[in-house]
Amino acid sequence: MGAMHPILSEAASGFFRNQDSFLEDIKENLIAGRASVVKLLTEQALRRGVPPEVIVEESLLDAMKEVNRCFSARIMAIPDVLLSSRALHAGLYVLKPYLTAAGVGVNRGRVLIGTVAGDLHDIGKRLVAIMMESKGFEVIDMGIDVPPEEFVRGVNVHNPDIVAMSALLTTTMGSMKTTIDLLTESNLRRRVKVIIGGGPVTQEFAQDIGADAYGYDAVSGAQIAVSMMDQMPHVGPSDTS
Q: Same structural domain for residues 143 and 211?
A: yes
Residue 235 has pLDDT above 60, yes or no: no
Average pLDDT over residues 176-192: 97
Average pLDDT, the chain: 88
Q: Tell me if 5 is assigned to some domain.
A: no
What is the share, in percent, of the chain residues with pLDDT greater than 70? 88
Q: Which residue has the higher pLDDT, 65 or 204?
A: 204
Lowest mean pLDDT among 14-28, 35-49, 131-145: 14-28
Q: Mention every residue, 6+ apart, whose C-beta is less than 8 A from residue 46.
A: 52, 55, 94, 95, 98
Span 82-127, pLDDT tens digits: 899 899 989 999 998 988 887 766 788 999 999 999 998 888 898 8
Average pLDDT over residues 52-59: 91
Of 55, 76, 101, which residue constitutes the final position of a domain?
101
Q: Same structural domain for residues 143 and 44?
A: no
Of 67, 101, 135, which residue constitutes the final position of a domain?
101
Q: Same structural domain for residues 95 and 138?
A: no
How many domains does the chain divide into?
Answer: 2
Q: Same structural domain for residues 198 and 219?
A: yes
We report the CATH number of the domain holding residue 171 as 3.40.50.280
Of 34, 68, 101, which residue constitutes the final position of a domain?
101
Q: Same structural domain for residues 77 and 186?
A: no
Residue 141: the pLDDT is 96
Domain holding 94, by residue range, is: 18-101
Range with top average pLDDT, 13-17, 28-32, 64-68: 28-32
Residue 237 has pLDDT above 50, yes or no: no
Confidence of residue 71 (pLDDT cuts 50, 70, 90): confident
Q: Tell me if 11 is assigned to some domain.
A: no
